[in-house]
């Protein structure tokens, strides 16, 4: 099954791979991509035969986050609120899916793309993958990405990533707790398969109850956290600094902040 922005495949019984399929835009999370992902995860949640989902990216990037060009074209508070609320719905759909979701990361994962990796239950990355919550480079603190990031990575490391916007390597991401495994690029498939081997034979009800319980007892208040973070990002995008950063990105120049 495929469409413009997503490609769905079934590599084995009980497993669906959802591949972000917009390589020309580095699999950016525009409105259409987000809506298709939300609808796909809603459908998958109802599939009683499902045991695991793999989330992958086509091309050089796993996911470069939100489409800054699209964001720069809509300097409107309500538009930003709708976008970040939509993104939060996707992250919560992954959170509430009753089976494990594995991020298969072959390239860069930045901003909301790094958020996707953090939000997935498990993550395997190529040695060539790199990670950043880079919104601050354009005047936009990655508030919504910080929600799953700080639930995976120690606070000081998360803060360093958020306030510098700097990239970290796959090995650094593994050491920080963002990833489960790092493998050579030509062994990424096998790395994901090793996790799937240990998951797919397990009963769905046990996976569903276990995942729900794990996050309920560890991350109380995630709904409120996403609501606040989405609103914060929308407000931040209305700032002159973020607007200048977005325009600089579109115009391929360095931002000019006073």
Predicted confidence at residue 55, as pLDDT, reads 98
Asked if residue 102 has pLDDT above 80, the reply is: yes
Hey, what are 92's tokens? 């919560």
* Rounded Cα distance, 150 and 146, in Å: 6
| CATH architecture, domain defined by 6-199 | Alpha-Beta Complex (3.90)
Question: Which pLDDT score is estimated for 138?
Answer: 92
CA-CA-CA-CA dihedral for 88, 257, 67, 16, to nearest 10: -50
Task: State the pLDDT at residue 1.
Answer: 43
Among the ranges given (10-14, 68-72, 190-194), the one the predictor scored with the smallest mean pLDDT: 68-72
The pLDDT value recorded for residue 221 is 75
* Position 3 pLDDT exceeds 60: no
pLDDT of residue 4: 86
Residues 197-233: tens digit of each pLDDT: 999 988 888 888 888 878 877 766 778 888 888 888 8
Q: What is the pLDDT of residue 169?
A: 98
- Mean confidence (pLDDT) of the chain: 93
If pLDDT is split at 50, 70 and 90, which confidence band does 2 have? very low
Flag whether the pTM goes above 0.85. Answer: yes
**pLDDT grade, residue 241 (50/70/90)?**
confident
The predicted-structure confidence for 120-165, as pLDDT tens digits, reads as follows: 999 999 999 999 999 999 999 999 999 999 999 999 999 999 999 9
Q: What tens digit of pLDDT does each residue of 15-58 get?
A: 999 999 999 999 999 999 999 999 999 999 999 999 999 999 99
What confidence category does residue 92 fall into, taking pLDDT thresholds of 50, 70 and 90?
Answer: very high
């Amino acid at each position: 099954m495929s469409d413009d922005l997503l490609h769905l495949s079934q590599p084995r019984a009980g497993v669906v791979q959802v591949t972000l399929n917009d390589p020309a835009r580095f699999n950016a999370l525009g409105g259409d991509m987000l809506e298709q992902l939300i609808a796909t995860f809603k459908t998958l949640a109802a599939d009683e035969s499902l045991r695991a989902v793999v989330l992958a990216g086509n091309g050089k990037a796993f996911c470069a986050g939100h489409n800054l060009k699209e964001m720069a074209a809509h300097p409107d508070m309500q538009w930003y609120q709708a976008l970040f609320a939509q993104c939060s719905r996707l992250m919560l759909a992954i959170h509430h899916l009753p089976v494990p979701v594995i991020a298969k990361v072959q390239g860069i994962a930045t901003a909301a793309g790094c958020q996707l990796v953090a939000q997935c239950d498990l993550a395997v990355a190529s040695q060539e993958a790199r990670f950043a919550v880079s919104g601050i480079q354009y005047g936009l603190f990655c508030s919504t990405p910080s929600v799953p990031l700080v639930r995976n990575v120690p606070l000081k490391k998360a803060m360093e990533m958020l306030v510098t916007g700097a990239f970290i390597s796959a090995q650094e991401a593994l050491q920080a707790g963002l990833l489960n495994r790092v493998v050579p690029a030509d062994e990424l498939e096998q790395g994901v398969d090793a996790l799937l081997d240990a998951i797919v034979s397990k009963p769905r009800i046990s996976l569903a109850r276990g995942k729900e319980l794990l996050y309920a007892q560890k991350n109380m208040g995630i709904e409120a956290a996403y609501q606040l973070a989405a609103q914060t990002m929308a407000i931040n995008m209305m700032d002159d600094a973020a607007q200048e950063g977005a325009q600089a990105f579109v115009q391929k120049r360095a931002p000019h902040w006073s």
